[in-house]
Chains A and B, each alone.
Chain A
């Protein structure tokens, strides 16, 4: 079974992928909740525009999204230059850029899941909490947030899974640098491009399947437990 043994380079790609996907998921979560709240509850001018922008990565070719990220968040892009000069945050050809690309690609999936769960919340419960003395922030944290938790978890898993599989936008934005921006999909792609790389590609494919299945099962278990607590079943 020695062919199952991952090489150090392959381990690096696995670790990097997990790191990128985790960061992409965690950083986009609070933004995702806010945007989902705005879309579900907000009444403002430009709501459909916001809706369109959020969903853009879902309909655009990933290469286009990657290229758009390159020209805005790249070293010479307007936002990229600003962040680099003022905060020292650099995206281009770094793992942070891979995380940004993955986060952006998974964002519409996350927002949709949370949005749906917010729309399912009975607003009468929130009004009741108000009459009991809770202000809007308290109502959100003690009533709304616990009730949309299944949607938040579903959104996180979707975002994580999308990040684990993201290829087009990542390779366009931050290229395929081993140890810095080479994630599982780009590593597998590299293996398929060299003679004798079949075994390596197969190993990483198996790793990919295991990680995805684990994430899926974990989310299912968690949701079921939560559902039982909320008595939604």
Chain B
């Protein structure tokens, strides 16, 4: 399962130059608006023709300018969920969902209406007209419509951008199920750190048409310098952990990974299942000895791996907790007071209430092994 892109394409003021190959379940294209994300998915989807390059997915070549090969959009079988739902107003929800089905040869249809309708929770909407749906419902139908073509690849161009926070929260679990329960690789465009941290297995960071970084989500999220200024506070550590058990008395869930054990507000999922946590760098305190008399419940032991002092009043400290990196952002004053230096054994301290629902999500296997 791979998506391989190597293209260059002139776009008005700048040139989009992108080269990456991802085997992840959900590859996020991340970057500020105007960085070329949407153009890149349009190139993959066949709505744009690149000046030069090659695009392949799942072993099929869609574009290869060297061989003068260009497969038109309608022959690619690449599902595309746009920013706006783009439902056909003259058809019922059912007709919208089934629109693409006829164009897929029956031997290659792997999705059926019942499964998709249940996956997205839209059974009660089938006979309605798109104009009678809420924004979140429309977007779910649009996702279902793309899925029912049994696509080889699913492109999603900021599918949550036009929705308010409540609607976003409503759709998020469906996107997670889509990622974990279907076999379709997904390319997901977003400029939201929290969406990327929650959904992505791999991240391509774009800036002015160039790829500035590419890697697994955990590694990219620790590079605060890659995040836009206004969302640097959102960056930090992404840990994929497992549920070790629940604490019924205090309504908490205990998560474990090689970094250690942390306690978070209760997550309703069975012991052993995978949960992804995002720990903002600004929520992590550092102690040089095991703290006592402190309300924070989560203490991870580790060693200072690196200190980045490039940013005025604050410094970023990477703590190696048994092989997993936890990022902390503290003041330079604290760093001096504690005498922090690379190699020093320290404790990372995280308040349990720093984990709100937005920072906790269930995950399946994010990479094929």
Known A-B contacts A124-B84, A231-B131; the reply to A130 vs B90 at CB < 8 A is no
Do A129 and B90 touch (CB < 8 A)? no
Instruction: Please give the distance in Å from B89's CB to the nearest CB on chain A.
Output: 5
The CA of A147 and the CA of B89, in the complex, are separated in Å by 8
Do A135 and B90 touch (CB < 8 A)? no
Do B89 and A132 touch (CB < 8 A)? no
Do B103 and A124 touch (CB < 8 A)? no
Which residues of B are found within 8 Å of A229, using beta-carbon distances? 90
B82 within 8 Å of A (CB atoms): yes
Residue of A nearest to B77 (CB): A133
Do A128 and B80 touch (CB < 8 A)? yes
Give the residues from 21 to 45 in chain A that come closer than 8 angstroms, CB to CB, to chain B: none
A86 within 8 Å of B (CB atoms): no
Do B74 and A143 touch (CB < 8 A)? no
Residue of B nearest to A128 (CB): B86
Dominant SS among interface residues on chain A: helix
Do B90 and A131 touch (CB < 8 A)? no
Known A-B contacts A129-B99, A132-B99, A133-B100; the reply to A147 vs B90 at CB < 8 A is yes
Across the interface, A131 reaches (CB within 8 A) one of B78, B84, B89, B129, namely B78
Residue of A nearest to B100 (CB): A132
Do A131 and B88 touch (CB < 8 A)? no
A230 within 8 Å of B (CB atoms): yes
Known A-B contacts A125-B86, A125-B88, A147-B89; the reply to A131 vs B79 at CB < 8 A is yes
Instruction: Please give the distance in Å from B366's CB to the nearest CB on chain A.
Output: 26
Residue of B nearest to A231 (CB): B131
B209 within 8 Å of A (CB atoms): no
The CA of A143 and the CA of B96, in the complex, are separated in Å by 11
Known A-B contacts A124-B82, A132-B100, A134-B103; the reply to A230 vs B90 at CB < 8 A is yes
Known A-B contacts A124-B84, A124-B86, A147-B89; the reply to A132 vs B131 at CB < 8 A is no
A61 within 8 Å of B (CB atoms): no
The range of chain B's interface size is 20 to 34
A36-67: CB near B (< 8 Å → 1, else 0) gives: 00000000000000000000000000000000
Known A-B contacts A124-B82, A231-B129, A231-B131; the reply to A130 vs B73 at CB < 8 A is yes
Instruction: Please give the distance in Å from A91's CB to the nearest CB on chain B.
Output: 39
Known A-B contacts A131-B45, A131-B78, A133-B74; the reply to A146 vs B90 at CB < 8 A is yes
Residue of B nearest to A145 (CB): B90
The CA of A223 and the CA of B305, in the complex, are separated in Å by 71
Known A-B contacts A231-B89, A231-B130, A231-B131; the reply to A132 vs B47 at CB < 8 A is no
Give the residues from 185 to 233 in chain A that come closer than 8 angstroms, CB to CB, to chain B: 229-232
A4 within 8 Å of B (CB atoms): no
The CA of A124 and the CA of B82, in the complex, are separated in Å by 9
A127 within 8 Å of B (CB atoms): yes
Do A132 and B103 touch (CB < 8 A)? yes
B145 within 8 Å of A (CB atoms): yes
B104 within 8 Å of A (CB atoms): yes
Which residues of A are found within 8 Å of B100, using beta-carbon distances? 132-134
Residue of B nearest to A233 (CB): B131
Give the residues from 139 to 185 in chain A that come closer than 8 angstroms, CB to CB, to chain B: 142-143, 146-147
The CA of A134 and the CA of B104, in the complex, are separated in Å by 10
A103-145: CB near B (< 8 Å → 1, else 0) gives: 0000000000000000000101101111111110010001100
Which residues of B are found within 8 Å of A128, using beta-carbon distances? 80, 82, 86, 88
Do A133 and B86 touch (CB < 8 A)? no
Which residue, A122, A131, A135, A142, has most C-beta atoms of chain B within 10 A? A131
B146 within 8 Å of A (CB atoms): yes
B222 within 8 Å of A (CB atoms): no
The CA of A129 and the CA of B145, in the complex, are separated in Å by 10
B126-152: CB near A (< 8 Å → 1, else 0) gives: 000111100000000000011001000
Residue of B nearest to A232 (CB): B89
Do A132 and B86 touch (CB < 8 A)? no
Which residues of B are found within 8 Å of A125, using beta-carbon distances? 86, 88
The CA of A231 and the CA of B76, in the complex, are separated in Å by 32
Give the residues from 115 to 169 in chain B that come closer than 8 angstroms, CB to CB, to chain A: 129-132, 145-146, 149
Known A-B contacts A231-B129, A231-B130; the reply to A132 vs B82 at CB < 8 A is no
Give the residues from 63 to 85 in chain B that come closer than 8 angstroms, CB to CB, to chain A: 72-80, 82, 84
Do A131 and B130 touch (CB < 8 A)? no
Which residues of B are found within 8 Å of A230, using beta-carbon distances? 89-90
Instruction: Please give the distance in Å from B49's CB to the nearest CB on chain A.
Output: 13
Instruction: Please give the distance in Å from B147's CB to the nearest CB on chain A.
Output: 11
Which residues of A are found within 8 Å of B99, using beta-carbon distances? 129, 132, 134, 142
Which residue, A130, A138, A146, A232, has most C-beta atoms of chain B within 10 A? A130
Give the residues from 254 to 284 in chain B that come closer than 8 angstroms, CB to CB, to chain A: none
Q: Which 8 pairs across A and B sit closest by C-beta, in order of nearness?
A: A133-B103, A132-B100, A231-B131, A131-B80, A128-B86, A146-B90, A130-B73, A130-B74
Given contacts A127-B86, A129-B99, A131-B80, could you give 12 more A-B pairs where the C-beta distance is less than 8 Å? A124-B84, A125-B86, A125-B88, A130-B74, A131-B47, A131-B146, A132-B74, A132-B99, A132-B145, A133-B77, A138-B103, A147-B90
Binding site for B on A (CB under 8 A): 122, 124-125, 127-135, 138, 142-143, 146-147, 229-232
Binding site for A on B (CB under 8 A): 45-47, 72-80, 82, 84, 86, 88-90, 99-100, 102-104, 129-132, 145-146, 149
Q: Can you name 5 A-B residue pairings with CB atoms under 8 Å?
A: A124-B86, A127-B73, A131-B46, A133-B75, A135-B74
